[in-house]
Amino acid sequence: MATSGKLMTIGQAARASGVSAKMIRYYDDIDLFRPEARSDTGYRLFSPTDVHALRFIKRARDLGFSVDEIRRLLTLWQDQSRASADVKALAMEHVRELEARIQQLEAMVRTLRHLADHCQGNERPECPILDDLAGQASPEADAVTGNRVRHSRASTGL
Amino acid sequence: MATSGKLMTIGQAARASGVSAKMIRYYDDIDLFRPEARSDTGYRLFSPTDVHALRFIKRARDLGFSVDEIRRLLTLWQDQSRASADVKALAMEHVRELEARIQQLEAMVRTLRHLADHCQGNERPECPILDDLAGQASPEADAVTGNRVRHSRASTGL
DNA sequence: ATGCACCTTCCCACAATGGGAAGGTCAACC
DNA sequence: GGTTGACCTTCCCATTGTGGGAAGGTGCAT
């Protein structure tokens, strides 16, 4: 398998792949990715194939995959006898993680928006947001229901 | 200002506030929060007011505020002459940060779902997901548009 | 007095990234 | 040949918030 075409240095590989030289060294460190060769003076040397792998890694990072998930993706990528079901499973599990995080963030946003809606946002000190953080629901009337704000602090659902 | 009622140790304060003893010490370290007193043998001693502050911190963390944002919130909380507008501004800026993160995550999910939709997920190796990561759009026909998949890899919008 | 539960500080680890120092290398130019 | 500037190497540090654990002191009940 004569992979090497013309070899390039880390700076060139970084520019060609969009991965910083710093991160390329890190990926090398943690055995995620090993460059083709080293010059006799210790310089890392990258083949076009290496750059391809770096782009793969970058794209996967951009899609939110962790380094560990990428490790598995790279293995699958290089495995000619992989089952696409395995790739899909990995991707869908990642999607579920992402969606869980989205749910959490949305719950926070909902709560905060709700609180902010009831905050006058003026020069006066009374503030339902601080009241909620302090654990005492504001004694303001609820603008929507007209009820006293009993709701023991809107839940974030966390 | 005689704040102290009965004082408690860190373990009791932790249980009463929902913040781990470990984190209470950390907040102390970084000057986010200083307990009422120390016993002559060095034990941190917490007043009910301290526990109240810890609950405040915990609630704010649950809402996704960073330690630095909480520092500002605590200052506002303790400032009797604060303007609720300042609190609201802080909260809304945080909401915008959260929403930006949500946008990013959603873009990732959209892309991944799109790719996964076109992946057979069977025992065969062909996989549009890996093809995308590798930078070469899969040569499969697009099921929706009936077009060749020219779309140079669905963008995450990042 | 012995023991157990609790407290203290200090160090380590995580994930992924960047900053920067100290020192070696390469190529070009005079 | 020598110098310069761009580039490479490794090593250490910081980030953010959290937990684990060690070594050693304290408090209280039996």
Which residues in B lie closer than 8 A to residue A87 (C-beta atoms)?
Answer: 119, 127, 129-130
- Rounded mean pLDDT, A6-24: 96
Residue nearest the C1' of D8 (CA based): A43
A80 or B143: which leads in pLDDT: A80
Q: Which chain A residues contact residue B106 at CB under 8 A? A: 102
**Which CATH number fits the domain A1-64, given the four candidates 2.60.40.1180, 1.10.15.40, 3.20.20.100, 1.10.1660.10?**
1.10.1660.10
Rounded to whole angstroms, the Cα distance separating B11 from B120 reads 54
Please tell me if residue A143 touches chain B, with a CB cutoff of 8 Å: no
Locate the chain B residue with the closest alpha carbon to A58.
B133
Residues A54-79 have pLDDT tens digits of: 999 999 999 999 999 999 999 999 99
Alpha-carbon dihedral sign for residues A35, A38, A43, A46: negative
CA distance A71 to chain B (A): 13
Domain ranges for chain A = 1-64
Q: Please name the residues in contact with B61: beta carbons below 8 A apart, sequence gap of 6 or more.
A: B70
A-interface mutation test, from B71, B129, B136, most A Cβ less than 10 A away: B129
Binary contact (A127, B94; C-beta < 8 A): no
Q: Is the pLDDT of residue A125 over 80?
A: yes
- Closest partner residue to B63 (CB to CB) among A56, A81, A156 is A156
Nearest chain A Cα distance for residue B59, angstroms: 6
- CA dihedral for B10, B11, B17, B19, sign (positive or negative): positive
- What's the confidence (pLDDT) of residue A147? 40
Average pLDDT over residues A85-110: 96
Distance CA B28, CA A99 (A): 34
SS3 A7: coil
Q: In this model, does residue B141 exceed pLDDT 50?
A: no
Residue B83 φ then ψ, to 5° = -105, 130
Which value, to the nearest 10 degrees, does the dihedral of the CA atoms of residues A98, A103, A105, A108 take? -170
Instruction: Please report which confidence band the pLDDT of residue B1 belongs to, taking 50, 70 and 90 as the band edges.
Output: very low
B68-105 CB burial, b ≥16 within 10 A, e <16? ebbbebbebbeeeebbbebbbebbbebbebbeeebebb
DSSP B141: B
Q: For residue B113, give the nearest of A95, A102, A130 by CB distance.
A: A95
ipTM of the complex: 0.84
B19-65 tens-digit pLDDT: 999 999 999 999 999 998 999 999 999 999 999 999 999 999 999 99
Token readout for B79 is 């400032």
Which tens digit of pLDDT belongs to each residue from B120-133? 999 999 999 999 99
User: What is the Rg, in whole angstroms, of the alpha carbon atoms belonging to chain B?
Assistant: 26
pLDDT at A145 over 80: no
Q: Is there a contact between A17 and A9 (Cβ–Cβ < 8 Å)?
A: no
Whole-angstrom distance, CA of residue B32 vs CA of residue B53:
10
B6 pLDDT more than 60: yes
State pLDDT tens for residues B59-113.
999 999 999 999 999 999 999 999 999 999 999 999 999 999 999 999 999 999 9
pLDDT at B27: 96
Share of chain A above pLDDT 70, in %: 83
Q: E strand or H helix at A37, and its extent?
A: strand A37-38
